[in-house]
Amino acid sequence: MSEQTAQRHDSGLVTESRGYVRVLTLDRPERRNALSSAVQADLVEELLACAEDPAVRAIVLAGNGPAFCAGFDLKEIRESDRRGEHFRPPMNRAGRNLFEVVGETYVPVVAALAGHAVAGGFELALACDIRIAAPGIKLGLPEATIGMGANYGSVVLPKRVPMGIALEMLLTGEYVTSEDAERWGLVNRIVPADGVLPAALALAERIAANAPLSVRRMKETAVKSLDLPLATALRLDVGPNPYLSEDRREGIAAHLEKRAPRWAGR
């Protein structure tokens, strides 16, 4: 597949298909790609659609402009407060939580962090499976400095880095750099800023070239077995079973015949 089609939502989310890779780009550079209610809803819808579409085998999440994402749209929240509207905590809202949807999406998600990712923007990056970052960008959760809660980050960050580091970041609200994050294994690799998106796309394309059922099975197993005892995890049996698929036979045949496999996704 080689078609490249792009669509811009009114919220500022741009979706583009590049073969088997779907690129979702936050395009609100004037607001540092802040997560308005509308862009959150569109992201959730697009992610759910990707999980249902067999033509999507990997996702790249990017941001246009100098920031990947500055978090929730604080101006929108303040305007709501001024109107006297009731503010609901993240897990008490009618719609799906964006970060949960990213983390639960069957399709692998690669974050292209060419700019700063802070607050909810850092949580969005945390929810992705793989992170490619530019050098020297800021990452962190300043919620304690503005009276917010970093609900997702408070749970997930201690699973990604040592507890002491996670608590220092959470409790001080201070930022770290992408170099720090790479040293802790939070960022997979650092590349020059203008190479972040190409590197993320190349990685997504490499993933998309593999057997789709195997990729889905491995992601589901890795994510859902993380906190389980070994004996339970080995018997989890989540997602489609690649061992019983047509693609397993095709993959072995292609390997022995020294040709590219033709995946059927079944």
Active-site residue (options: 52, 143, 220, 246): 143
CB atoms within 10 A of CB 162: 10
Which residue is catalytic, options 30, 100, 123, 257? 123
* Residue 52 falls in the annotated catalytic set: no
* 143 carries an active-site annotation: yes
Strands 189-190 and 21-26: unpaired
Question: What 8-state DSSP symbol labels residue 94?
Answer: S
**Whole-number Å distance between alpha carbons of 225 and 235:** 10
Interatomic CA distance for residues 34 and 235, integer angstroms: 41
Q: Which residues of 73-91 are buried (b: 16+ CB within 10 A; e: fewer)?
A: beeebeeeeeeeeeeeebe
Q: Which tokens is 66 given?
A: 């100098």
> Which of the residues are catalytic?
123, 143
